Amino acid sequence: AQSVTQPDIHITVSEGASLELRCNYSYGATPYLFWYVQSPGQGLQLLLKYFSGDTLVQGIKGFEAEFKRSQSSFNLRKPSVHWSDAAEYFCAVGPRDTGFQKLVFGTGTRLLVSP
């Protein structure tokens, strides 16, 4: 079955430390891939997206993500976390055969930043 998995429900990172949030997908063909961030009480904001080409994608707020076809993964990274990065992060996929009609979200990872 097609699915998006974010294995970590919560992650706590010290301010200034590096961050990696995991995302794995299960689809027949490589889908479009996205990361969104949801700050408390806010809607979702697009951080970055991957359609094709360079497998390392740069996004806003200093985030990047790497697409690894062999691992069906699209992990989100940031070299140095700031307290304002505390939020919930969602990985999402859009199957290429249905475009954005069926954008599917993972269950989210809540990031906590400790002083």
Determine if 42 is a binding residue for another protein (CB under 8 A): yes
Task: Select from 37, 18, 17, 33 the least CA-distant residue to 68.
Answer: 33
Q: Helix/strand/coil (H, E, C) string of 3-18?
A: EEECCCCEEEEECCCC
Determine if 10 is a binding residue for another protein (CB under 8 A): no
Determine if 53 is a binding residue for another protein (CB under 8 A): no
Task: Select from 115, 100, 82, 110 the least CA-distant residue to 34.
Answer: 100
For another protein, the binding residue among 87, 106, 111, 113 (CB under 8 A) is 106
Binding residues (CB under 8 A) for another protein: these are 6, 9, 32, 34, 36, 41-46, 49, 51, 90, 96, 99-108
